[in-house]
Amino acid sequence: MKVEQLSLEEFRARLGSKNGLRIQFGPFVVRIQSFLPSLANPLYRLYAFYTLANDDIAEFHVQIVSKRSLRRPFTPFVQFLVDGQAPFPAAPVHHALTMLEWGINLAIAVRVNHFLLFHCAAVERNGHVLLLPAWPGSGKTTLCAALIHHGYRLFSDEFGLMHVQSGNFFPLPRLMPLKNQAIGAIRDFLPEVTLGPEIHGTLKGTVAHVRPPEASIDREDEPAIPRWIVFPKWTAHQPLQLEEMPRSEAFLLLASNAFNYEVLGEVAFDAVTGLIQRCECRKLVYSDFDSALVALNALTDD
């Protein structure tokens, strides 16, 4: 059963109930609880396609609760809690959605070691995964949003979930937070995209979330093997370049950006080595989505 099969009232009631709203995100189940009236509406719309996991074990239990600040008693604040504990400070009430999304990602990043967690966007085309690692100026979320509305299946804009033994990557299609100028850029390029409200004044500036396409969420239990690793860089007024990346550099960037590379030790070293040896590694410089799409389509064509 999907979220959209509930009425808004039922959805709101679940969020406020003892059993909470239980959502399947890829391989994980998250229980979300909140009485915050302003959170239910945008969440209902953005979470529409997710599967409800009522009878499964939830491994993450999160809440958004109201909070009063002693120093600013008349401003409403909210706090994100995971298992009743607050990993970061309270924020103004209109940040609730960004806090929730960011908090769930943080909980996954610090608790999960049964996958090797790369910090990258991941999409699939022709049965294989294309990884877009995070590195300074990569704009991986923006490029990922463009790709998944042009024939690529979304795995994640934030996590590359590698099952080390099989080499498979698992989808974790979560809301995709666009920041600042990227919001306008995606609105222009993809008028059909469903965006959440613009949330101003967060740590990362203005944020608006892209709802993942229904088709990607429907296939969130289908893993695939990566074949390409592309390090993107958006640079204004630059001609498009897609060139070979030295493998040692790809190793360094991929390993140093993974969330739990150090924790997994030799297992991670072997996994990254194998991954880089099997994949084509490229550096992409682009200034517009159309030419980037042409280049990436050519790379990932069968």
Partner 1 sequence: MTDRRLNAHHQLLVRALRDPPSLCNISNQDWELLLRLVRRARLLGFLAVELGNAGLLDKIPVRIANHLRSGLIQARKYQQLARWELDRVRWALGEDRGPIIVLKGMAYLLAGLPHAAGRVFADLDLLVLAENLQPIESTLLAKGWQHHELSAYDEHYYRAWTHEIPALIHRERETEVDIHHTLTSPIGRLQLEAAPFREAAVRLPELGIYVLSPPDMVLHCAVNLFQNNELADDMRHLLDLHGMLQHFSSDQPLFLDNLITRANQLRLGRPLFYGLYFCRLLLRTPVPNTLMTRLEQRPGWLALKVMQLCVPLALLPLHPDLPCRGAKLARWWLYWRSHWLRMPLHVLVPHLAYKFYLSVFPSKAANTASSRVTAKTK
Partner 2 sequence: MVDWDGEFTVFQPAAGKTHFLNEMGLQVLILLDQSPATLERLCQLLAEHFSLLLDESFMQQIQQTLHRFEALGLVAYVNFSQ
Binding residues for partner 2, rule: CB under 8 A, are: 246-248, 251-252, 255, 261-262, 265-266, 269, 273
Could you tell which of partner 2, partner 1, none binds residue 246, using a CB distance below 5 to 8 A set by kind? Answer: partner 2
Are 153 and 215 within 8 A, CB to CB?
Answer: yes
Q: Is 109:118 a contact under the CB 8 Å cutoff?
A: no
58, interface contact from partner 2, partner 1, none, CB < 5-8 Å by kind: partner 1
CB atoms within 10 A of CB 251: 17
Whichever of 3 and 255 has its CB closer to partner 2, that residue is 255
Cα separation, 216 vs 49, whole angstroms: 10
Least separation, in Å, of the C-beta of 254 and partner 2? Answer: 11
Q: How far is the CB of 144 from partner 2 (least distance, A)?
A: 27
Q: Which is nearer to partner 1, 19 or 75 (CB)?
A: 19
Let me know if 46 is exposed, middle or buried by CB neighbors in 10 A (0-12, 13-18, 19+).
buried
32-38-40-46 Cα dihedral, nearest 10 degrees: -100
Q: Which is nearer to partner 1, 55 or 301 (CB)?
A: 55
| Gyration radius of the chain over CA positions | 19
251 binds, among partner 1, partner 2, none (CB under 5 to 8 A by kind): partner 2
Closest approach of partner 2 to the CB of residue 117, in Å? 16
Whose Cβ is closer to partner 1: residue 16's or residue 42's? 16
Looking at the Cβ atoms of 51 and 142, the one nearer to partner 1 is: 51
d(CA 80, CA 171): 25
Q: Minimum distance between the CB of residue 142 and partner 2, rounded to whole angstroms? A: 30
Residue 117 vs 195, nearer CB to partner 2: 117
Q: How far is the CB of 105 from partner 2 (least distance, A)?
A: 25
Binding stretches for partner 1 (CB under 8 A): 18, 29, 55-59, 61, 70, 83-84, 111-114, 262-265
